């Protein structure tokens, strides 16, 4: 048996178990970050179109900060800053040492960055919806919430899906940055395998293939979702 096949075996003899666990951690982190980033990004976009000067200014400051900071620096700030803040709060009551969960810290940091970009995508989508859509719904007696849920949101998702799909692909790759806070995602487990086996080409090439596979699968899923959201557009 070739040596490289032995290194990729399952069980104690190879590294496939560790790489599979890292892959699952990468996907889990991305999936956990996505709803948080989307929801917060939508709220930021709504704040910017609200017309309230304070909300508009706060949302713009937020997006400027987290779009301007390097993602790696954001992870460090959330992880270490969060741990210091939590320790200070706990220290008011006890001397117990607490440690921030790396998965939660990574999810929060990536979610902050994702939401800042998603807000701009949603904002552009809002601008693509004619004002008459809102006015027509109100003329029919729909409340603001009903107007948003039944009339605006379906169009918003259709217009924003392309940009959000690109952000999802970026998010999948950015999960590799969380390896710096010792989360056992795909890149970290790959680096451990390289350090032990001294076979960088084999394992980094395999990691490339796994990331590309995630991108291809995601691209296919996004295309199917776009087709579903756009049904009826050709006829209209």
Find the CATH number of the domain harbouring 138. Answer: 1.10.3720.10
pLDDT tens readout for residues 100-138: 889 999 999 999 999 999 999 999 998 888 888 877 888
**pTM, rounded to two decimals:** 0.88
Query: 3-state SS of 6-66?
Result: HHCCCCCCCCHHHHHHHHHHHHHHHHHHHHHHHHHHHHHHHHHHCCCHHHHHHHHHHHHHH
Q: What is the pLDDT of residues 155-195, one digit of tens each?
A: 888 889 999 999 999 999 999 999 888 888 999 999 999 98
In angstroms, rounded to a whole number, what is the distance separating the alpha carbons of residues 33 and 25?
12
In a domain, residue 234? The reply is no
For residues 141 and 71, the model is more confident at 71
Looking at the domain assignment, is residue 53 inside a domain? yes
Is residue 173 one of the residues assigned to a domain? Answer: yes
Number of domains in the chain: 1
Contact 143, 151 (CB under 8 A): no
Tens of pLDDT along 199-216?
Answer: 889 899 999 999 999 999
Residue 47 has pLDDT above 80, yes or no: yes
Separation CA 51–CA 56 (nearest Å): 7
2-40 confidence digits (pLDDT tens)? 666 767 778 777 878 989 999 999 999 999 999 999 999
**Residue 235 falls within a domain, yes or no?**
no
Q: Is 72 inside a domain boundary?
A: yes
């Amino acid at each position: 048996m070739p040596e490289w096949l032995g290194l990729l075996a399952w069980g104690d003899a190879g590294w496939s178990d560790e790489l599979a666990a890292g892959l699952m951690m990468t996907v889990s982190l991305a999936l956990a970050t996505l709803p948080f980033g989307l929801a917060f990004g939508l709220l930021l976009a709504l704040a910017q179109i609200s017309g309230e000067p304070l909300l508009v200014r706060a949302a713009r400051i937020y997006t400027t900060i987290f779009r301007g900071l390097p993602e790696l620096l954001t992870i460090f700030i959330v992880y270490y800053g969060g741990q210091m803040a939590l320790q200070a709060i706990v220290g008011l009551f006890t001397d117990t040492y607490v440690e921030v969960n790396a998965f939660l810290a990574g999810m929060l940091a990536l979610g902050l960055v994702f939401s800042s970009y998603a807000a701009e995508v949603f904002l552009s989508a809002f601008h693509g919806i004619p004002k008459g859509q809102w006015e027509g719904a109100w003329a029919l007696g729909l409340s603001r919430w009903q107007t948003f849920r039944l009339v605006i949101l379906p169009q918003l998702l259709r217009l924003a899906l392309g940009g959000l799909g690109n952000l999802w692909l970026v998010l999948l790759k950015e999960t590799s940055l969380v390896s710096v806070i010792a989360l056992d995602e795909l890149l970290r487990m790959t680096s451990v395998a390289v350090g032990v086996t001294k076979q960088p080409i084999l394992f980094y090439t395999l990691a490339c293939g796994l990331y590309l596979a995630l991108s291809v699968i995601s691209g296919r899923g996004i295309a199917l979702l776009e087709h579903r959201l756009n049904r009826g557009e050709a006829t209209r």
